[in-house]
Structure 1
Amino acid sequence: MTTSNVKTALSVNLNKIALLRNSRDGNYPSVVHHAQVCIDAGADGITVHPRPDQRHIRPQDARDLSALLKQHPALEFNIEGNPFAGPADNGYPGFVELVTELCPHQATLVPDSDDQLTSDHGFDLRISGESLKPIIQALKERGIRVSLFMDPDVEQIALAKEVGADRIELYTGPYAAAWGSDQLEDIYQLHHAAAQYAADIGLGLNAGHDLNLDNLGKYATIPSLLEVSIGHALTVDSLAMGMSNAVAAYREVLQQ
C-alpha cells in the first residue's frame, strides 16, 4: 500500500446523537455536550447534516454548534446537505440559507433527496454541475470551503474541479460494504486512483460513509486524505467504549 504523511483529520458527525435526542421531548442527550466531549477527546472537527425533515440535526443545533466551535478556533465545523433543499414549513430555513448564515469552515454538498435513508451516491455533475456553479461561488465568496460528495469516478472528479469545488468527499459506502470480500481490493484501488487524480488536479480529498474501526486503517493509507467524517459507527462504538474512548480509538487508527 502507498502511504502518505498527510495528517488525516477526524470530524465527528453528531447526527445520531440528535436522532436519539429527538425520540423524546427535551434536550437529552445534548448535541452540544457531546460535541464538547468529542473536542475534549481530540476530535479535529464536528460535522452535522441538517435535513429538511429535521429527523436528527435541527437548524438550532447547527447554530448552537457554530457558537461552540467559535470557542475552539483550531477546530473545523462542517455542515453537509443537499444544496437544492429550500425552506420548509417546519422551520428549516433552506440548506444554503443556513450555511450562509453560519459560515462554517466547510460546506459539503450532497445529492440526497428527502426520502433517502442516508446519502448513498455522489453527484452526477453532467446533470447538476451548471446548477451548482453559482451556489459554490456564493459560498466561496463567504469564505466557506466547498466540498462535493462524489463517487470515485475520475471524469466526474474532473467536473468537480471545473464547477469550482475546493475538495471532494469520496463516498466510501461500497468500500465498507465490500470489507472482507474478494471485491475489496478492486474498490480500494479505484478509490486510490481517484484520490491520486484529485490531488493531481488540485482538489483536496475527504472521505466518509460507513467507515469504522475495522476498515478505516486500510482506507487511511490512501495518499493525501485530509479528512474523514464518521458518525454512525463511532456513535455505535460509544455505546460500548464511551464517546471519549471511541474518539481516541479512531484517532489512534488515523495516526498509525
Structure 2
Amino acid sequence: MRLGVNIDHIATIRQARMTYEPDPVKGALIAQDAGADQITFHLREDRRHIQDEDVFRLRCTIKRIPLNMEMAPTEEMKKIAVEVKPERVTLVPEKREEITTEGGLDVVSMKDFLKDFVSELKSKGIDVALFIDPDADQIDASVYVGVDAVELHTGEYANAETEKRKMEELDRIKKASVYAKEKNLKVFAGHGLTYTNVQPVAAVPEIEELNIGHSIIANSVFWGLDEAVRKMKRLITQARTKL
C-alpha cells in the first residue's frame, strides 16, 4: 500500500507568522527520504497554507515520487495544474468558511461539468481522482465522469464517537471499495486517519493508497518528520501483511 504524505500543515505553521519557515518543500524532501510514496498538497482558493510558489518549487524539487495536487474544480486551479503538471490531480470540494474538507465532492450533481473538466486535465497527461463519500451513487457518477480513481472520504469513520458507529462506517468504506474496484476504478482513501485508527482502513484489500497529513505533521513536533512518516508507513505495512 502506498502512503501519500500531505504537507499542507507545514505551510499552515509557516503562514501563522507569514514567515519563511518551516518550508513545506523541505518537509516534502524529508518525507520522500523517509519512505513516502507520494507527496500530496492542497492549493486552496484562499491560499490559507500552500502558496503558488510552493507548488512550482515542489514540481522542480520532488522527482523520485509523484505529486498529487488536491484542488477545487475551478478554472483558476485547472490553469495552474496544467502548467505544473503534477502526476495526479484530486478534485475536492472547498468552502472558504470550513476548517478542513468536510465531506466528499458531490459528483452526482455536477457530473456533466466534471466530465468536461476531467477530460481537459487528462488530455494534458494528468491522472485524475475524485474525493468522494463512500457511496455507490457517487462511484457510478465518477465512472461516468471518466476519472482514473476515487479517494474515499474516511472522515465519518475517523470521527465516529462510538465503536458501533465506527464499525458501521468501516463497513461502508469496505463495501464502497469493493464496488469501486468492480467498476475498474483505482481506490484510495484519506481524511482524519491517525496512528490509532489507520490500520483497519489499511487492511481493506481494495484500497491501494492512503493520503495522510494532519496526524503525521502534528506528531512530527514530538518525533521529527522522518520518524513520523516511518511510523505511519510501518503501521500500514503491518496491516497489509496480515491480509
Instruction: State the TM-score, normalizing by the size of structure 1.
Output: 0.90
> Which residue number in structure 2 is paired with residue 121 of structure 1?
103
Residues 194-218 of structure 1: CA deviation (Å, up to 9, x unaligned): 0000000100011111101101011
Q: Tell me if 1:208 matches 2:208.
A: no
Secondary structure of 1:99 counterpart: helix
Residues 215-226 of structure 1 aligned to structure 2 (within 5 Å): 215-226=197-208
Distance in 2 between residues matched to 1:127 and 1:18, nearest whole Å: 32
Match of 1:13 in 2: 6
Taking the TM superposition and a 5 Å limit, the aligned residue runs for 1:160-171 are: 160-171=142-153
Question: What is aligned with 1:137?
Answer: 119
Q: How many equivalent residue pairs?
A: 238
Regions of 4+ moved over 4 Å: none
Classify 1:144/1:179 alpha carbon distance in 2 versus 1 (closer, same or farther; 3 Å): farther
User: What SS does the aligned partner of 2:32 have?
Assistant: helix
Q: Give the one of 34, 53, 66 matched to 1:76.
A: 66
2:39 to 37, 46, 62: 46
In structure 1, the partner of 2:241 is none
- Structure 1 counterpart of 2:157, one-letter code: Y
Q: State the distance in 2 between where 1:68 and 1:139 align.
A: 22
Tell me the percent identity. Answer: 34
Q: CA deviation at 1:40?
A: 1.1
Q: Cα distance, 1:180 vs. partner? A: 5.1
SS of 2:152 mapped into structure 1: strand
Q: Tell me which of 173, 179, 182 is aligned to 1:191.
A: 173
Distance 1:125 1:44 in 2: 27
Query: How many Å apart are 1:179 and its aligned residue?
Result: 6.2
| Conservation of the 8 A alpha-carbon contact between 2:28 and 2:62 | no
Matches of 2:134 and 2:106, distance apart in 1: 12
Distance 1:81 1:179 in 2: 29
